[in-house]
Amino acid sequence: MEISKKCIVLYVLWLGINTLFFNDSLAVAADKENCLMCHKHRFNARIDENGRKRNYHVNENLYSHSVHRNISCRDCHTYITKIPHDPVTLKVNCANQCHIRPPFAQEKFSHRKIVDLYKNSVHGGKPEDSEILQKALPNCKFCHLNPLYSKISEKRVSYKETLARCNNCHPQSGVEMAYKHITHRLRKKTSRSSREIVQLCGKCHGDKNLMQKLNVSKKAMDAVESYNRSVHGKLVQLGSQKAANCINCHASSALHDINKADNPGSTISKDKIMNTCRQCHKNTDEMFVDIAVHPDITHAGNPIIKMISLSLGLGMYGSVLALVGLLLLETVGRRKDGARLVLKKGTTWYGKQKSVSGKKK
């Protein structure tokens, strides 16, 4: 009895020391079934029959700092029934219920609401869609990675101060992750930067071959090109986070409800476009919404914009070329005067001027 009591005391002490000193650095992923035994290895991959590299590696460290760290592998990969498992042919369904119960809710967590929104969007696809279109539609993981918690700097209230209150009741590691998860989404519409969003959408919408196969309209065919030509596109290319990217205009705060303009639910439909512009341009009126966000300067039916664009181009190229031409003329003139391109006695040009030396003679 004596010995077992001592053992318990020692164990509790050890636990205390561990919690005090090591707790913040411990981030252990939910891998009760030890899937990482094989999947933690970075060369766990193969090249398939179509030449595609299949990478089965899951980085332990990254996974344990991701938002899915508490979800066991089989909550998503439900088709795995034994280890080692058969070659996987099924896909993960993000609308699955996992065994996590979010705070203030009795139901198990699921992405069903978002998945339903996505399914009803233009990217969700319909049974009557052609095979090529079904293949081209992006699934969840095309846009989403297993997101990592990122540090948020709180300007008004210090982040530690806020958390100190929460920690009075809630366990530190859990509440810290939840805080980061929520505040991150309060500040930004997407995790990716505007430039990354344009690049992501441009992977399909900027692929002219793919768009041609999908038989899209001319406007849709040039969507990325014309956006990049617009003031929004140029600002985003220069690194602006305020200028509108694709998501800002084409999706609501639900992000996945992207639809064509003729769909009444679309953020760019006739009825909703004014509200969409007003997210940034408070004084938007009916004339303002007529301004082309995807300007088509090559359009034959738009001669005024074409002329303005042409004259601005001529003005820009002309002024620079004229400036360089002037420099060249000046150089030729100086060379004719006898000046040489030599740095001597503090001068850029040195030599005898022909006219002066001629007079002396």
Partner 1 sequence: MPGVKKRLAHPLLSYLLGLFFMVLTLIVFCGVIHHLAFSSHGPKLLGSFVEKYEAQTKSKILDDSQKLLEMEKHNHFHNFPAEYPKLPENMQPVCFICHSDFPHSKNKRIRSLMNMHTQFFTCETCHIKKRSDFKIVYKWHNPQKENTKGPFFGTSYNPRTGRLLEGDDPIAKITPFFKSINSSQNSKELISVIQLQNTPFVKDYIKVSGKLSPEEREGIKNKFHQKIKPKGHNCMDCHAQNSILNFKQLGFSENRIKYLRTLEILGMLSQYEDFYLPELFPDSPVQTNNKETK
Q: How far is the CB of 158 from partner 1 (least distance, A)?
A: 28
User: Which residues are paired to 55 by β-bridges?
Assistant: 45
Binding track, positions 26-55, relative to partner 1; x by CB under 8 A: xxx-----x--xx-xxxxxxxxx--xxxxx
From 151-159, 183-191, 251-259, 334-342, give the range in contact with partner 1 by CB under 8 A: 334-342
71 forms part of the interface with partner 1 (CB under 8 A): no
Q: List binders of partner 1 among 130-149 (CB under 8 A).
A: 138, 141-146, 148
Binding track, positions 181-220, relative to partner 1; x by CB under 8 A: ----------------------x-----------------
What gap in Å lies between CA 321 and CA 68, rounded to an integer? 57
| CB neighbour class for 222 (10 Å; exposed up to 12, middle 13-18, buried from 19) | buried
From 183-191, 246-254, 284-292, 332-340, give the range in contact with partner 1 by CB under 8 A: 332-340
10 forms part of the interface with partner 1 (CB under 8 A): no
What gap in Å lies between CA 68 and CA 100, rounded to an integer? 10
CA atoms within 13 A on the CB side of 101: 4
What gap in Å lies between CA 144 and CA 76, rounded to an integer? 15
Backbone angles phi, psi at 350, to 5 degrees: -140, 140
What gap in Å lies between CA 97 and CA 172, rounded to an integer? 26
Please report the sign of the dihedral spanned by the C-alpha atoms of residue 313, residue 319, residue 323, residue 329: positive
Q: How far is the CB of 224 from partner 1 (least distance, A)?
A: 11
Respond yes or no on whether the N-terminal peptide bond of residue 171 is cis (omega within 30° of 0).
no
From 81-89, 168-176, 177-185, 243-251, give the range in contact with partner 1 by CB under 8 A: 81-89
From 177-185, 188-196, 279-287, 317-325, give the range in contact with partner 1 by CB under 8 A: 317-325
- Is residue 26 within 8 A of residue 45, CB to CB? The reply is no
What gap in Å lies between CA 126 and CA 133, rounded to an integer? 10
Q: How far is the CB of 317 from partner 1 (least distance, A)?
A: 6
From 115-123, 126-134, 214-222, 351-359, give the range in contact with partner 1 by CB under 8 A: 351-359
Give me 158's structure tokens: 């210090």
Q: Which CB atom, from 174 or from 265, has the smaller least distance to partner 1?
A: 174
Q: Which CB atom, from 21 or from 104, has the smaller least distance to partner 1?
A: 21
22 forms part of the interface with partner 1 (CB under 8 A): yes
Q: Which CB atom, from 42 or from 185, has the smaller least distance to partner 1?
A: 42
Helical (H) or strand (E) element with 237 = helix 231-237
Q: Which CB atom, from 45 or from 164, has the smaller least distance to partner 1?
A: 45
Q: Which of 74, 67, 89, 78 is nearest to 36 (CA)?
A: 74
125 forms part of the interface with partner 1 (CB under 8 A): no
Place of tokens 């001027």: 353
What gap in Å lies between CA 220 and CA 217, rounded to an integer? 5
Q: How many residues belong to the site for partner 1 (CB under 8 A)?
A: 69
Q: For the CA atoms of 173, 176, 182, 184, what is the dihedral angle to 10 degrees?
A: -120
317 forms part of the interface with partner 1 (CB under 8 A): yes
Binding site for partner 1 (CB under 8 A): 22, 25-28, 34, 37-38, 40-48, 51-63, 66, 82-84, 86-87, 92, 138, 141-146, 148, 203, 225, 228-229, 313, 316-317, 320-321, 323-324, 327, 334, 337, 339, 343, 346-351, 353, 356
